[in-house]
Amino acid sequence: MNCPNCLFENPVTAKFCMQCGTRLSQETSLPIKQQLGNQKQEYPQSPQAERRQVSVMFCDLVGSTALSKQIDPEDLREIILAYRQLSAEAIHRNGGRIAQSYGDGLMVFFGYPVAYEDNAQRAIRAGFGIIADMEQLNARLMSEKNIKLDVRIGIHTGRAVLGEMGNDDTHEQMAIIGDTPNIASRIQTVAPVNTVVISAATYKIIQGYFECQSLGYHSLKGVPQPMEVYGAQQEKDVHNRLEAATGCLTPYVGREQELETLLHLWQQVQSGNGQVVLITGEAGIGKSRLVQVFKEQIANDDYVLRECYCSPYYQNSALYPVIDLLERQMHLASKDSPEIKLAKLEQLLHKYECQIELVIPLLAHLLSIPLDERYPALNLSAQVQKQKTLESLLTMVMALAAQQPYLLIFEDLHWVDPSTIELLNLIAKQASQSRVLLLCTARPGFNFLNSNYEYFSQITIKQLSESQTKLLIQQITGDQAVPESVIKLMVAKSDRIPLFIEEMAKMALESRWLAEGEAIDDVTIPDTIQDLLMAKLDRLGTAKEVAQIAAIIGRKFSYEVLRAVSPLDTATLNSSLTQLVNANLLIVVNVQASYVFKHSLIHDAAYESLLKSTRKNYHQKLVQVLEEQFPEFAETEPELLAYHYTKAELKEQAIHYWQLAGQKAVASSANLEAIEHLHKGLELLLTMSVTPERNQQELAFQTTLGTALVATKGYAALEVELAYKRSEELCEQIGETPKLFWVLRGLWAMSAGQARYQTSLEYGQRLMSIAIAEQDRGLELESHFTLGLDLFWLGEFASSREHFEQGIALYEPQLHHSHAFITGQDVGVASLAVNSWNVWLLGFPEAAMQYSEKAIALAKQLSHPYSLTQAQACTSWLYQFLGETQTVLQLADAVITLAQEQSFPFWLGWGNILRGWAIAHLGEAQEGIAQICKGLTTFQSTGTQGWLPYFLALLSEAYGKLGQPEEALVVVAKALSEVKKTGECFWEAELYRIKGEHLRVQLQQTKAQAQEAAVEECFLQSLDISRRQGAKSLELKATISLARLWQQQGKNEAAEKILSQIYGSFSEGFETKDLKNALALLAKL
């Protein structure tokens, strides 16, 4: 017989191909008396196939080929019929189902079509039963025919797809697809005669219930890796899981203590001492039940209750639990007009003590509700809008808490989005001074707080005790009398996890165990939640299909969407929903007829029971329904459509919506969510064939991703570099594209932020080449800025000034301010502000101050917060150069205020550093050092690696003011190391001067002549560098320090000569501090 799979020629009697293991012949499984019949059968329409866990047993009669040569075929037929009959009886006694028969072989399912709580145990018991019954058959056969039969039995447990398959002559009632049956059949071949051999997967399930012995690892045909198998020897004398458990049990504790803790904390809340509580525990352990009981205990108290639910579908949708809560409070309906939605929002907010005119625009934006003319749009950056939204939500919470105790519940935080975590931390931070109980639930290992609070409590829920398990069963079954045997079985098989117990007890009621007194062995009591829920769904009839379709939509779903997707008529659908609610699988959550699966595990079980192809088809239908009948989802929740299109394997549409979701999130400053959306879209996009259109779309993804990554990681992050580098590659592949210039601009900023100045200079030169080729004044202006700043960092101040001034000459606000919405800064303001540094360094203090004043005036004229912050920050540098401490302090405070209001961490760090320097020079050195260090931490958290030599110089000066020259010198050494590493040398001359001043302080303490030479060397090196750079103002500072040293050494003539030369080279700024100091020193010389 040739194998249909590999064409290997096998003996006629072979049941499986001896080369590849493919089944060669089969008979459809029929009632025992018909198993040898070949008449054609008429079958009903095949039911939907299912995904299940099943234990498969293969039972094979040993030596049947040799036996066929010893006895008459009719006698052999009777023997095989007897063997089949006794096997079928043992199998049926243990709840198994003969799926297929192969002459003298049987394939048996345990767990399909009916699931039991101990499927694997039943399979082994059936195997033992067959072997035991064979002994009685052999006694008769030996006496009548001198024949002894032997069997081999193999069992494996795993996932498979089961159901009817084929039609007419190829029809199979109990078809199984997957490797589970193949593994079971191969295990049978290595079993010693008259034994039951099981796989490691089956052994893991039944461990503790049977005595087993490892038979080692075996290479099985068709199985890639050797598998360990076990010989099942006998059943142990155990009665429950406690006795069967081979490892340490998790210590079980009662719920009374947890409830008492919550009630005690609630009393503190009522007294005005707010609390934050996190309840953690594994899925199904009873987190939600504890919250429910707690609410029942305080039902008579006067308090406000708000409940939020996190969802796995919305882990990357900013503030989804809050949006969901607000929509439920407002009773929003999909058919509501924008006017009605806005009216409902206004009605809701009247309950809170908040500024309606400010909060309405924020929450309307959050809820995607259009505003009318009464509410002007807020002129805020996306990040600030997000922050003010969070603050408004916090104000709403605190407003209600000021009126009465407030219980705020967040369930399933392990699915929370990052923005909601921010809100929770804001609430937690202020909770202690209010009457708020923030009560959250999450799975183990999750904590949402970014700080430790004395008023934070974590309650970890463990397994119930046996007595509490029995009490829970009594609460569920009510007045029904529960046989002790059933209670014991529930306690043993539930693992004392409340969800298991609850569902098992309700199943007992539905199955009429209690009323009809059925034998426990014949009752479906799954020992895993998967099988338990599958059995519960099996009994629902049409309602099972409704649960499965609803699971496609999500854990929470609306009636309208379900009705649009379901093929059932309205009456059947409504009846099924009622049945699901009555069975406690679904909960009605609001008057708008929305539903939620009672537990996420119930939702998962319903979803996973569907074939992948069925899920795909339903997702396809769902997105079609959402697009055609619920178009608002595309605008308000593009990530939801993106998710369903992804599951529907409609890549193009999924990519489109992931891109929209990413753009929407970036616009709302939900940058972490945006990154997730964009990554998912890119993952799909990169599976598509490479075409010019795909490259264009990827470029849009990468540039948007770069924007989001810069906001969350900083310019210097590797992820930012990868996004912009890939964008550059795409631009090269696409060819002519206006996006190339701005991609290179992003790469320039990234390189500069990483302090890779030669690389950033090369990008600046490329930008200039493009600008000249395009003859675009705006692009040329941007290019002059990049080159000017690069050359400034590298100490080429005259060339830097030339580029800035050329750019300033090109700049026209009405034409070029729009660049700020691409780069984040107004290039005119930035050029004026930074060029003030060049002008001062080159020896023109008054002109430098004029540039900075113009920069600030222009930024104010443009009403651009970022540019104003930048202008004031750059001016604070200029006045630090000038030594005007009080002015620096005023400017730094202004920078800090703006940076905090607008969420600019780069400038916030900058402002804190300058403020620290100022207060150190005003006599508060210790505080100043702390603020500089704080600013450095904030600044470097953005990923920026540049500017450090200058900022470290300020820190070194602060240590000098504190009288710690040793620490000051350590900081200077670090700064000089940065100069050497990066080439950022614009402040190098001043670093050597500062080093010399700290050494001179040490010299005064030690009187070491060798150190005097080192001081002089530092000042001379500072002079050499400043002269080489043309930095006349730094040369003046170095000359003053050297002249003072020479004065102390009695070299007045040399000091007077060198100081006179540099002083005489200045033509302005004689009222600035350094020139006045030089003049005063000259008078003494």
The three state secondary structure string of 5-40 is: CCCCECCCCCCECCCCCCECCCEECCCHHHCCCCCC
CA angle (1053, 1056, 1057) in 5-degree steps = 85
Indicate the angle between helix axes 1052-1064 and 1073-1084, nearest 10 degrees: 150
Cα–Cα distance measured from residue 766 to residue 151, given in angstroms and rounded to the nearest whole number: 80
pLDDT tens digit sequence for 142-187: 888 888 999 999 999 988 898 877 665 555 667 888 999 999 999 9
Task: Quickly list H helices, 404-443.
Answer: 418-431
Q: Which residue has the higher pLDDT, 1083 or 49?
A: 1083
Indicate the average pLDDT of the chain: 86
- Residue 407 host element (H or E): strand 406-411
Hey, CA dihedral for 496, 502, 507, 509, is it positive or negative? positive
User: Which residues fall within 8 angstroms of residue 263, CB to CB, at 6 or more apart?
Assistant: 294, 297, 298
Cα–Cα distance measured from residue 269 to residue 401, given in angstroms and rounded to the nearest whole number: 10
Question: What percentage of the chain exceeds 70 in pLDDT?
Answer: 88
Whether the predicted pLDDT of 404 surpasses 80: yes
User: Is the peptide bond preceding residue 692 cis, with omega within 30 degrees of 0?
Assistant: no
Hey, CA dihedral for 614, 617, 620, 621, is it positive or negative? negative
Cα–Cα distance measured from residue 763 to residue 847, given in angstroms and rounded to the nearest whole number: 30
Q: How confident is the model at residue 819 (pLDDT cuts 50, 70, 90)?
A: confident
Q: Which tokens go with 889?
A: 């302090």
DSSP string, 33-98: GGTT-------PPPPPPEEEEEEEEEEEEETHHHHHTTS-HHHHHHHHHHHHHHHHHHHHHTT-EE
Whether the predicted pLDDT of 803 surpasses 90: yes
Whether the predicted pLDDT of 525 surpasses 60: no
Cα–Cα distance measured from residue 430 to residue 453, given in angstroms and rounded to the nearest whole number: 10
User: Which residues fall within 8 angstroms of residue 1009, CB to CB, at 6 or more apart?
Assistant: none
* pLDDT score of 995: 97
Q: Which tokens go with 485?
A: 């045997």
* pLDDT score of 849: 98
All domains of the chain in start order, with CATH: 31-37+45-237 (3.30.70.1230), 256-460 (3.40.50), 989-1085 (1.25.40)
Whether the predicted pLDDT of 44 surpasses 90: no
Q: Which tokens go with 198?
A: 């099981």
Chain-centroid distance of CA 516 in Å reads 50
Report which residue type is found at 841. Answer: L
Cα–Cα distance measured from residue 646 to residue 905, given in angstroms and rounded to the nearest whole number: 36
Q: How confident is the model at residue 202 (pLDDT cuts 50, 70, 90)?
A: very high
Radius of gyration over every alpha carbon of the chain, rounded to an integer in angstroms:
39
Report which residue type is found at 658. Answer: W
Q: Which tokens go with 597?
A: 């699966």
User: Which residues fall within 8 angstroms of residue 354, CB to CB, at 6 or more apart?
Assistant: 392, 395, 396, 399
* pLDDT score of 43: 29
Closest C-alpha to 220, from 246, 257, 185: 185
pLDDT tens digit sequence for 115-149: 776 889 899 999 999 999 999 999 998 888 888 99
* pLDDT score of 708: 77
pLDDT tens digit sequence for 1066-1077: 999 999 999 999
Cα–Cα distance measured from residue 803 to residue 786, given in angstroms and rounded to the nearest whole number: 9
Whether the predicted pLDDT of 494 surpasses 70: no
Q: How confident is the model at residue 514 (pLDDT cuts 50, 70, 90)?
A: low
Q: Which residue has the higher pLDDT, 112 or 1019?
A: 1019
Closest C-alpha to 532, from 599, 458, 589, 592: 599
* pLDDT score of 732: 87
pLDDT tens digit sequence for 329-340: 999 887 889 999
What is the three-class DSSP state of 204?
Answer: helix
Cα–Cα distance measured from residue 292 to residue 310, given in angstroms and rounded to the nearest whole number: 17
Q: Which tokens go with 954?
A: 């300020």
Report which residue type is found at 549. Answer: I
* pLDDT score of 183: 94
Cα–Cα distance measured from residue 720 to residue 703, given in angstroms and rounded to the nearest whole number: 10
Hey, CA dihedral for 638, 644, 646, 650, is it positive or negative? negative
CB 674 within 8 A of CB 714: no
Q: How confident is the model at residue 245 (pLDDT cuts 50, 70, 90)?
A: low
Cα–Cα distance measured from residue 871 to residue 894, given in angstroms and rounded to the nearest whole number: 11
Q: Among 30-34, 382-386, 957-961, which range has the highest average pLDDT?
A: 957-961
